Chains A and B, each alone.
Chain A
């Protein structure tokens, strides 16, 4: 029961570099999400996907790109990393979006942009 896995778990990168955070889920859930967690802000939705090839913006999408060519994968790319993107990134998945019984979270990816 692998669940939902993120990689890398920890990453330090330089300003201006491109970074991709990977997310893989084994449940065939339709919905997948990317959140960022910053102190004092709770979680904020970056992008979500309702199914393969369907993605949409959340609250804070600027500077990020996503794709979903397969149901099980939902990578998040920072095209040109900035210091303000230093954060903890959580991938999540669920069967029925926010209207299901629960949303499952990955272990998180700690990203530092220097």
Chain B
């Protein structure tokens, strides 16, 4: 069964702290997406990671991919309130050109 597991599913943290969201998946893949969703809104693309060892950074967010461990991480540095949202990872199985397997999402609340 193709599975993508995110943890934690819920995270409440203080501004200024660092934290990491984990995305584990069960299938062979070399392509993984991270998306952000604000309440009641659409999904916004953050990163697409295309190969083993890929690392991408945008502002306080940094994503990495370890295809051997089947693990991606989304690291938040010195969190600010504006980063409060739900974050999803989605994995593309190696033999597919259309399918994304989605994690359940991590709801992140950053308190001032």
Contact = CB atoms under 8 A, between A and B. Distances in A.
B43 to A, nearest CB: 4
A31 B59 CA distance: 30
A105 B31 contact: no
Given A40-B104, A42-B88, A42-B104, A102 B33 contact: yes
Given A99-B92, A102-B33, A106-B42, A41 B104 contact: yes
A111 to B, nearest CB: 14
B69 to A, nearest CB: 21
A44 B104 CA distance: 10
Contacts of B35: 105
A103 B33 contact: yes
For the residues of B in contact with A, the DSSP-based class is loop
A106 B68 CA distance: 33
Nearest to A107: B42
Contacts of A97: 97-98
Given A98-B97, A103-B100, A107-B41, 13 more contacts: A31-B98, A42-B90, A43-B43, A43-B102, A48-B98, A90-B43, A98-B31, A98-B99, A99-B31, A103-B33, A105-B35, A106-B42, A108-B42
Contacts of A31: 98
